Amino acid sequence: MELRHLRYFVAVAEERNFTRAAERLHIAQPPLSRQIQQLEEDLGVQLFERHSRPLKLTDTGRYFYTHALQLLAQTAELQAMTKRVGKIEHKMSVGFVGSTLYGMLPRIIRRFRQMHADLELSLHEMSTMDQIKALKEGRIDVGFGRIRPEDPSVRRVVLREERMIVALPVGHPLADAKPALALHDLVGEPLIIFPKAPRPSYADQVLAAFHDRALKPRRLHEVRELQIALGLVAMGEGISVVPSSVYGLKRGDVTYKELDDPKLVSPIIMSTRMLDESADLRSLRDMIYQLYEDEGMAYLPPQKE
């Protein structure tokens, strides 16, 4: 059994169709079918229910799929880490969710580039869930997001917590009602949340904040991204709960109000592969904390391991 057999098997299991799997792998269908048949013969088990449409995994196939995914992820992780440790590739790929661009991330990247002029740095916008997958597959080396899905192969470090604030259209009655608003002040307003997909996301953090306080917004409007949410707020279509870093996004048609509960926060989370302790990543972590110190920003001290 070779790694290619695992890749072929995973593609067929996920596509549930040999034709689509062959297209995904950029190979012809007959050789793919023969490779899967050879894999089953080598293992002495049946992995697929051949007569089902769409194709289904047997119980044994489901077990094998789970562990094949783990092995492929570990292989990709090992390849990426070995190349970087051996300086075969002095590169770093960074994944980020769009909302982090309104905070310190641009300055972090700019300073890191200055510190490591010889490092080839690439940036990729992607959801936190996509970051986890990309880390395990070796496509990125570090990710910055706001949610913390559990995965034993990924290390998550909460760098800091941003207060949540409310975005209101200029002239809205709540804008001057009191110095800070409570979530219960917002339940009568249409609530615009983002991103609509993929989930879980920052939208779920906002919804959880209402749910935890036994509150339910009158009406929800889900949109793809922060900029669209703010545009709809400016039009008077509703209000939105956003991270406080959005203060830096100046708009004349939107005003921001503090929330009165200090527990209403959205974390900034740095994710890396659990076993990746390369010098470049250590340098990045140290530089981020130093930048927070230089700017006098509150942050969560790194935990001793």
Place of tokens 């002040």: 185
Residue 151 to residues 37, 76, 133, 198: CA-CA distances in angstroms?
Answer: 32, 16, 10, 18
Per-residue pLDDT tens for 139-148?
A: 999 999 999 8
Asked if 35 and 106 sit in the same domain, the reply is no
Where does residue 265 rank: exposed (0-12), middle (13-18), buried (19+ CB within 10 A)? Answer: middle
Domain boundary among 54, 81, 108: 81
Per-residue pLDDT tens for 11-29?
A: 999 999 999 999 999 999 9
What is this structure's pTM?
Answer: 0.73
pLDDT at 74: 78
Would you call 270 helix, strand, or coil by DSSP? strand
Asked if 185 and 257 sit in the same domain, the reply is yes
Asked if 261 and 176 sit in the same domain, the reply is yes
Asked if 181 and 251 sit in the same domain, the reply is yes
Better pLDDT: 200 or 90: 200
Residue 111's pLDDT band (boundaries 50, 70, 90)?
very high
Q: Kindly tell me the number of DSSP H helices and DSSP E strands found in the chain.
A: 9, 12
Place of tokens 């490779």: 35
Domain that holds residue 236: 160-265
- Whether residue 173 is preceded by a cis peptide bond, meaning omega within 30 degrees of 0, is no
pLDDT at 53: 84
pLDDT mean over 97-116: 94
Place of tokens 């010098």: 279
- 302 located within any domain: no
Domain count, the chain: 3
> What is the longest distance spanned by two Cα atoms in the chain?
73
